[in-house]
Amino acid sequence: MDPIDAYAQHLQRVERASPHTIRAYVSDLRQLAAYLSEAGKELDGADRNDLRAFLASRFAHDQPATLSRKQSSLRAYYEYRVRMVFLDDSPARALVSPRRRRSLPNVVAVDDVFAILEAPEKAAPGLRDRCAFELLYGAGLRVSELVGLDLQDFLDGGTAVRVRGKGGKERIVPLVAKAREATRSYLERRQELGPKSDALLLNRRGGRLTTRSVARFLGAYALACGTQRHVHPHALRHSFATHLLDMGADLRGIQELLGHASLSTTQRYTHVSSERLVQTYEDAHPRARRRK
């Protein structure tokens, strides 16, 4: 079997990686294989200089975040080959990761979020959309987690939901009253979409709704509501965390709700809240206004 195909199967069956991660890693490895073939080499014959030259060749084409991911995919692949005893050592182990500029999360204003949540109509598709948006914002779900929900994932009478996150990790997320209400209203009309599976969110043909469809619907509602910026599904997750932090929620609790493995990932939202605090001061404080 082709080593890249074998690695893709390993990611799916053993690592329980998401389809998005598998596609990205396989794409990176295919690019590396094509680069090495020009020099008459195969993946297992590459050394550190080959990998560094490959990454340098991608510098003009890829964003820093993409280059960082490529390094991660190369490291993971060669560590896998070492564990499978195809290689004695990993040529990617000594690669130095480039420093990434960490951008602050895109946060939607509370009033804009509320306008979007109230925008869908009362027909079955609209109730589905409102259910989706309430779960993104009210439970802080990733869009991939949202579309992966099945009916049996709702627990304790619909007061909590079982979420399968990155790496197949599961967590239980409580649902606020508005999310419970939106879910219950949608489930009462779900049959009108002709369900063909136990998926929670259905398209017009009764199949599972996709992440792209959720993003498209959300963007259309945001545009109709006149929001100042483009709103994507992950922005509602960012807004969930930032608004909780603004209201005094514990950072550790937010970490558990979001399913972050590291607290440092959640701490990004403290910087957002600090910036919002400074902006509030500049907009409202008499001394700030006087300087202007």
> Which residues are known to be catalytic?
142, 166, 234, 237, 260, 269
**Distances 181 to 130, 139, 162, 177, 261 between C-alpha atoms, Å:** 10, 13, 17, 6, 30
Distance CA 96, CA 237 (A): 31
Q: Strand, helix or coil at 185?
A: helix
Complete DSSP assignment for 6-66: HHHHHHHHTS---HHHHHHHHHHHHHHHHHHHTTT--GGG--HHHHHHHHHHTTTTS-HHH
CA distance 208 to 69: 29
Neighbours of 49 (CB within 10 A): 9
